[in-house]
A and B are shown apart, each in its own frame.
Chain A
Amino acid sequence: MGTTERMTFSKAINAGLRRTLETDPKVILMGEDIGTLGGVFRVTDGLQKDFGADRVVDTPLAESGIVGTAIGLALRGYRPVLEIQFDGFIFPAFNQITTQLAKLSYRSRGRLSAPVVIRVPYGGAIGAIEHHSESPEVLFAHTAGLRVVSPASPADAFVMIQQAVASPDPVLFFEPKARYWDKGEVDVAITVTADAVASALADGVATDPAGVVALDRARVARAGTDLTIAAYGATVSTALKAAESAAAAGVSVEVVDLRSISPLDAETLIASVRRTGRCVVVHEAPVFYGTGGEIAARVTEACFYELEAPVLRVGGFHTPYPVNKLEATYLPGLDRILDAVDRAMAY
């Protein structure tokens, strides 16, 4: 361990994809504009140049076609890693993902598998126009057969994209596009293998043999004693900032980066809430029927006697993602998170 480089979030995913292309000849990248352009966010920049148009494939402009043909390629033993250009454009492929990809293992009683990774730049805060800022992760987490994950830092993005590609199951890989330009230290010496991912998942351990957090595990991003904030993706760094502000006011906040939305690492989360007695869930997606509701129910059921306050939720409203002039209000920012912290502490 220990060869760290400072790089942006998007570059970390790029480096992780590069590693998978180098280590597994069956990996194919597919998507719209991912080749010569390098993707509209340049996440796949330079990969077609280095690995060729057969490994990094510019596809027709057809999301269902991208996912559906990837299922066929996976049946032939390939490991397609797809890019959906924007969150709001995933719906033409919704049928292929939920009725086909998710069910292949179940319907074949394990005879078939489709280790397809679908990368989805998601979330807001980039001033985009409509259909470019949504958080549809719960729609997929609600579907059995899919794994749904979201990295929160460049270091984790580098590891998690490799874990996703190595997973024996289909993975929805939600990339918080607001963080694409954030920089951080990345340990580029880490290479995640399929064996490591499989053994970590099978053994139920929190770390894989390379010492990295397993794909289905949460991580305590900051330790605290008074209250737990559960977050994932773009909201983790907002939660960490909130924790700093709260500390200045004398409140010790623990931040749990969920990493995996399906499965949910309830074990790590519940252990944290048992220590702190309070829980606030933060995400960009609408609160109504969202991840926060699931977490609140699970935490309440497990920690009913330890809880000092009800589990509170901070997130988007039950509206379409609003115009970008209003998104700062829509998104869970420091004020609303700290307000929830105050309310929880006041019980």
Chain B
Amino acid sequence: MLCASAPPARRRHDVSPTGHATDVDLVQLLTPGGQLLAHPDYTPRIAHLDAAARRGLYRDMVLVRRFDNEATSLQRQGELGLWVQSLGQEAAQIGSGRALRPNDYVFPSYREHGVAHTRGVDLADILRLFRGVEHGGGWDPAEHNFHLYTLVIAAHTLHATGYAMGLQRDGLVGSGDPERDAAVVVYFGDGATSQGDLNESLVFAAVNNAPIVFFCQNNQWAISEPTTKQARIPLARRGDGFGIPNVRVDGNDVLATYAVTAQALERARSGGGPTFIEAFTYRMGAHTTSDDPTRYRSAAEDEYWRQRDPIERMRLLLEGAGELSPAFAAELEADATALAERVRATVKGLGRPPTGTMFDHVYGAPHAIVDSERAWLAEYEASFLDGAAAEGGSH
């Protein structure tokens, strides 16, 4: 059992003011003060990460946070209908995302901008969804092995489980060729653990021994409801009743999330079955830009978690080790600014899709009702004196 392997002396019951008193070990490899800790199981998982690789993780987190802040500004300026911040969850997402191999497959919920970044998705494409240009975002899931965002809570956890069952059928699990084998990782939040679909996913995954990693980002709040409204026990024990091993990891520690995800993925790929990971983290922003967290949580709580900022602790590690040169920091700052500017320009350039595209891809093959309504609307719009303009790119 993964969680049972840490000796009692290493237990860290580091919980937020809203979190459960816990009896489950928290895997942590990097303290909030930037000190490395040794762990018998997981330290070997990060031993190969040299200074460049650690700087890479830091760089990913900085870029994603800048993107996130830019998107928040765009929403405030009326350029996006809604924005879902990942602020504070960068370590959980970058650590787990970087532990994936190219042929692994990701099913995100809708806050996994950091994971999308690790899969090579252009972050600007994510905003197509939030600007109201495309429902699914602009990326090709097959190109990145990164599925579309799913807004219905926990619905995608079943798709992920089925996809993992498909990998099994395709002979891509436990083949003995680690380059060929693949696994699925599915992301969801603490609120999703209450949904039937997630629990059905755990049933299907367990009885089929599917190659899947359930990655729960417990960010403490499901909109205004604390985790204590979702469960009476730590979420990291959720797998127990299903026969699925659990791991609780410090979700603000990019090295630890990398290590536990790498281990769980390897287990899945080699035929060892599913793992449930609870990444204990904090949503530093609002649920979405429509939310007002000051109505339901305290300044003290915010301050507690600000002390555990995932980017800051990695910066302290790199600085302490002499691995963060002023030149690198300056270059990263310039890259982040360039990313933000590019995202802003791209989003503002996204026009209104032609009306006719509303009828595209409802079905894979023609459907008489859709076709007749498409034809009717085209004729109706053309009947106006300036009918052609309605199909144009203005909005």
Question: Which residues of A are at the interface with B, using a C-beta cutoff of 8 A?
Answer: 54, 59-60, 62, 64-65, 67-78, 92, 95-96, 99-100, 103, 105-113, 115, 144-145, 147, 167-169, 197-198, 201-202, 204, 216, 262-267
Contacts and interface: CB of A to CB of B under 8 A. Distances in A.
Contact of B164 (A64, A72, A111): A72
Contact of A112 (B141, B160, B162, B368): B141
A101 B87 CA distance: 31
Nearest to B129: A107
Contacts of B364: 105, 110, 113, 115, 167-169
B200 interface: yes
B136 A109 contact: yes
24 contacts: A60-B207, A64-B197, A65-B197, A68-B197, A69-B158, A69-B162, A71-B158, A72-B159, A72-B163, A72-B166, A100-B159, A105-B361, A105-B362, A108-B136, A108-B148, A109-B361, A110-B360, A111-B142, A167-B365, A168-B363, A169-B367, A202-B365, A262-B367, A265-B368
B203 A65 contact: yes
Nearest to B210: A69
A65 B362 contact: no
A196 to B, nearest CB: 12
B367 A75 contact: no
A260 B148 CA distance: 31
B160 A72 contact: yes
Contacts of B123: none
Nearest to B184: A72
A102 B79 CA distance: 29
Contact of B361 (A62, A106, A204): A106
Given A75-B159, A108-B136, A144-B362, 4 more contacts: A70-B162, A75-B163, A167-B364, A264-B368
Interface in B187-210: 196-197, 200-201, 203-204, 207
Interface in B156-185: 156-167, 169-170
Given A60-B200, A64-B200, A168 B365 contact: yes
A263 B367 contact: yes
A109 B158 contact: no
B135 interface: yes
The main secondary structure of chain B at its interface with chain A is: helix
7 cross-chain pairs, A with B, having the tightest CB-CB distances, nearest first: A72-B162, A68-B158, A76-B166, A69-B162, A168-B364, A65-B200, A201-B365
A215 to B, nearest CB: 9
A316 B369 CA distance: 25
Contacts of A68: 155, 157-159, 161-162, 197, 200-201
B204 A107 contact: no
A78 B169 contact: yes
Given A65-B158, A71-B162, A111-B140, A145 B363 contact: yes
A145 B169 contact: no
Contacts of B166: 72-73, 75-78
Contacts of A65: 158, 161, 197, 200-201, 203-204
Nearest to B361: A110
Contacts of B150: 100
B366 A202 contact: yes
A105 B157 CA distance: 18
B169 A76 contact: yes
B330 interface: no
B361 A72 contact: no
Nearest to B368: A263
Contacts of A167: 364-365
A150 B240 CA distance: 43
A267 B368 contact: yes
Contact of A204 (B141, B156, B360, B366): B366
A99 B365 CA distance: 19
A153 B164 CA distance: 38
A75 B162 contact: yes
A59 B162 CA distance: 12
Contacts of B164: 72
A282 B164 CA distance: 44
Contacts of A107: 135-136, 148
B159 A71 contact: yes
Nearest to B196: A64
A202 B152 CA distance: 32
Contacts of B196: 64, 92
Interface string B58-75: 000000000000000000
A46 B364 CA distance: 33
B134 interface: yes
B265 to A, nearest CB: 18
